[in-house]
Structure 1
Amino acid sequence: MARRIGSRYTAHQILGRGSAGTVWLGEGPDGPVAIKLLREDLSSDQELVGRFVQERTALLGLEHPHVVSVRDLVVDGNDLALVMDLVRGTDLRTRLDRERRLAPEAAVAIAADVADGLAAAHAAGVVHRDVKPENVLLDMQGPLGPGGSHRALLTDFGVAKLIDTPRRTRASKIIGTPDYLAPEIVEGLPPRAAVDIYALATVLYELLAGFTPFGGGHPGAVLRRHVTETVVPLPGIPDELWQLLVQCLAKAPASRLRASELAARLRELLPLLAGMPPLDVDEPDTDEAEEAAEELSGAAPAAGQPVRRRGAVPLVPGARPSDSNRDTHTSMRVPAPDELAGGARGTARAPRAAGAPRPGSARNRAVTRRRRLTLAVAATLLTAAGVATWLTTTDDTPPPPPDMENSAPAAP
């Protein structure tokens, strides 16, 4: 069902839905476009509309081969929309869902493309604030890059900033997707360019491992890990790549590389990664909701039963996994200092062998209970066998000697 967007555009088909709005395939004066139509409650917010117009110059001026350009901003009645270049392909989350993890050469090539786009944005004074696989598009019609990778383009610049108004998100709120939030955002500091570097390093870790370094479980636990835990090494990658990841995942923003430096360093590593297969590691654990369900049922997953994969933690109950740009701009409470300090394990959980339960998980506790039960049964059987042996031997034992106290001669 076609609908008019302003006076120049027509939206024909829904391409995807997210928490901020709906992306449509549209048509404009210069041909096909992608139209991101923001939610109606956002379009009715006059303060947001004002910010939308103020950001127009910055958003329209961001031109780069690895950035999805914004062609126009439409404010028309109840319609508040960004008109963007149409990328013929898919997003990085869809590819991850299909392949779980990428070969290191392809993962690094994609991250380098995104870093190039971030460098251009940061040079223009624009911070993305929500770098994640859902916001990275892959151009399937262009030539293939290193490792068979498709050209990557970063999209949704400025949307987080537009929606993050003082009235909509008070000082006790933060905006973003928990798995990719830099520690300084969790602690309530203003987002600078370094938050994009931290998020991109998290994305690269996820492309290599199949899971994010601090994700899994309740969003509050994820936020705490960003502040308190250290990232665990991934086996099988060159030390140069690992040191680069560690530097860009540093808790201190000043310790991270700039986007242009990161892009250059990543491209220098590509020859070292040529032909390397995807890493053979498994996730550290299932999420806490699954563990709680196992604990209540008292049963571990059956042998061969697939374990639910850990990815970005949804903040909106009932969000569809297939949604594009899902759960992006949802307010969350910033944890208090005592919450951040309490209960942390000190280091992130290490990747484990495929099928092995994580220590402390419900599966591990179930295995421990079975072992204890087996030991208890064995001990009972051994005890019963000992008693039976004792009873048998007492039947052939001669009677005890007479009471010496009563039979001794009297003292003179």
Structure 2
Amino acid sequence: MARKIGSRYTAHQILGRGSAGTVWLGEGPDGPVAIKLLREDLASDQELVGRFVQERTALLGLEHPNVVSVRDLVVDGNDLALVMDLVRGTDLRTRLERERRLAPEAAVAIAADVADGLAAAHAAGVVHRDVKPENVLLDMQGPLGPGGAHPALLTDFGVAKLIDSPKRTRATKIIGTPDYLAPEIVEGLPPRAAVDIYALATVLYELLAGFTPFGGGHPGAVLRRHVTETVVPLPGIPDELWQLIVQCLAKAPASRLRASELAARLRELLPMLVGMPPLDVDEPDTDPVEEPPAETAAEAQAPGGERARRRGAVPLVPGARPDSNRDTHTSMRVPAPDELAGGALGTARAPRASGAPRPGSARHRAAARRRRVTLGIAGAVLVAALGAGAWWATSEGDHSPPPADSHSTSP
């Protein structure tokens, strides 16, 4: 199964598949590497190959402890590949799917690492454009940080920019993963460093809550929420942390912090998060839906009773999940202004309290029926009580003694 990649590298086994290509465990002159082999249709695009070569210097020069370094770019026949450091660990999406949400201290420590990596990239003039849990790797061989978090490294720099060529996307298309797209991208503006801050704040929200602030439902609905809705507060976290998340999720790019500022602020908050347990909230529902049929209800439940939720993945390590609706570089139409204006203005979907029934579900309807019956009984009791009071008042009046000037006298 081994195959040569250029003249210096050999790919031995597949570690994972993504929408942009396949990641292999490989060997190079200096030892093991991860090789991201882009799809053949991308390799045959001469314009893309030219952009690939143009980006070589910027990508190879990006070195930081929280960035998965690109060692080489290979253009050889039908092969177009990035050769990267091999990280011994897992991606953040895999950990999220296993634990659903993280303790605030660990979540903030991971986000601070990623912000440090982004700060180095932005200083070098590189915008990631696709920050999400699939593109954050956890180094299981590195020292444990606050909250027991493993060092976090951001990977896949430059891939979104390489693939996002005018010929491929034109002005009516956008590139990225819907849940993490900044409003300015949805509105068709060019991506700047602030889009990475917005995406990282979305990831931090997801690490804390177990779901993204604007995700759920059709991709078009998700895009509209980014532009028209405000984020709902998460109960149970310090106000300082919440205000930081809100600032980085601001609709106006200029209102967001820079990556270096965000990293510093997050690390300042770590002492107040020590020992804080994961939040206890449930994901809000996009639309009222019926409970799954009996034959599919078991399939909808993951081990441990959690509802299974598919996520996309572009992993660089073994054991990752297949791709799904959150693939990188999903091509979507930019909504027209009237479509965005027609969205639900105001606050985004509110998280449900843990254990609360989903709106529209059988449990929700049964609870509503019980409330109506209870209110009906209470109303009947109230009417009966009022009627009894009126009868008592009337009875008292009928048995009162006659007035003093009307009593009978002796003959």
CA distance in 2, matches of 1:321, 1:146: 25
CA distance in 2, matches of 1:92, 1:321: 10
Query: SS at the partner of 2:250?
Result: coil
Q: Which residue of 1 aligns with 2:91?
A: 91
TM-superposition CA deviations, 1:105-164 (whole Å, max 9, x none):
110000000000000000000000000000000000011001100000000000000000
How far residue 194 of structure 1 moved from its aligned partner, in angstroms, is 0.3
Name the CA shift for 1:11/1:246 in 2 (closer, same or farther; >3 Å).
same
Q: Which residue of 1 aligns with 2:210?
A: 210
- Asked if the contact 1:186–1:335 (Cα under 8 Å) also holds between the matched residues in 2, the reply is yes
- Asked if the contact 1:211–1:310 (Cα under 8 Å) also holds between the matched residues in 2, the reply is no
Q: Which residue of 2 aligns with 1:393?
A: none
Matched ranges for 1:169-318 at <5 A: 169-285=169-285, 288=287, 292=289, 294=291, 308=307
Q: Which residue of 2 aligns with 1:395?
A: none
CA distance in 1, matches of 2:88, 2:297: 40
- Asked if the contact 2:181–2:199 (Cα under 8 Å) also holds between the matched residues in 1, the reply is yes
The TM-score, its normalising length taken from structure 2, stands at 0.83
Name the CA shift for 1:42/1:6 in 2 (closer, same or farther; >3 Å).
same
TM-superposition CA deviations, 1:267-302 (whole Å, max 9, x none):
0011111111111111112x55xx55649x799979
* Residue 30 (structure 1) aligned with residue 30 (structure 2): yes
CA distance in 1, matches of 2:283, 2:289: 18
Which amino acid in 2 is paired with 1:233?
Answer: P
- Asked if the contact 2:2–2:12 (Cα under 8 Å) also holds between the matched residues in 1, the reply is yes
Which amino acid in 1 is paired with 2:281?
Answer: V
CA distance in 2, matches of 1:373, 1:321: 48
* Residue 346 (structure 1) aligned with residue 351 (structure 2): no
Matched ranges for 1:320-339 at <5 A: 322-323=321-322, 327-339=327-339
- Asked if the contact 2:66–2:113 (Cα under 8 Å) also holds between the matched residues in 1, the reply is yes
Name the CA shift for 1:145/1:284 in 2 (closer, same or farther; >3 Å).
same
Q: Which residue of 2 aligns with 1:150?
A: 150
Q: Which residue of 1 aligns with 2:384?
A: none
Name the CA shift for 1:321/1:65 in 2 (closer, same or farther; >3 Å).
closer
Name the CA shift for 1:321/1:333 in 2 (closer, same or farther; >3 Å).
farther
Name the CA shift for 1:128/1:173 in 2 (closer, same or farther; >3 Å).
same
* RMSD after superposition: 3.0
Query: SS at the partner of 1:200?
Result: helix
Q: Which residue of 1 aligns with 2:78?
A: 78
Name the CA shift for 1:24/1:65 in 2 (closer, same or farther; >3 Å).
same
Name the CA shift for 1:352/1:200 in 2 (closer, same or farther; >3 Å).
same
How far residue 308 of structure 1 moved from its aligned partner, in angstroms, is 3.6
Q: Which residue of 2 aligns with 1:137?
A: 137
Query: SS at the partner of 1:32?
Result: strand
Query: SS at the partner of 1:168?
Result: helix
Runs (5+) with no aligned partner, structure 2:
314-318, 378-411
TM-superposition CA deviations, 1:352-371 (whole Å, max 9, x none):
1122134x544576447755
CA distance in 1, matches of 2:103, 2:41: 42
Identity %: 85
Q: Which residue of 1 aligns with 2:54?
A: 54
Which amino acid in 2 is paired with 1:116?
Answer: D
Q: Which residue of 2 aligns with 1:386?
A: none
- Asked if the contact 2:134–2:312 (Cα under 8 Å) also holds between the matched residues in 1, the reply is no
CA distance in 2, matches of 1:167, 1:365: 49
* Residue 109 (structure 1) aligned with residue 101 (structure 2): no
Q: Which moved more, 1:171-180 or 1:276-285?
A: 276-285
Runs (5+) with no aligned partner, structure 1:
315-319, 379-412
CA distance in 2, matches of 1:352, 1:300: 23
**Number of aligned pairs?**
370
Query: SS at the partner of 2:281?
Result: coil
Name the CA shift for 1:370/1:334 in 2 (closer, same or farther; >3 Å).
same
The TM-score, its normalising length taken from structure 1, stands at 0.83
CA distance in 1, matches of 2:220, 2:233: 23
Structure 1 runs of 4+ aligned residues shifted over 4 Å read 291-295, 297-302, 304-307, 309-314, 362-365, 368-375
CA distance in 2, matches of 1:16, 1:155: 14
Q: Which residue of 2 aligns with 1:8?
A: 8
Which amino acid in 2 is paired with 1:209?
Answer: A
TM-superposition CA deviations, 1:208-260 (whole Å, max 9, x none):
11111111111111111111111111111111100100000000000000000
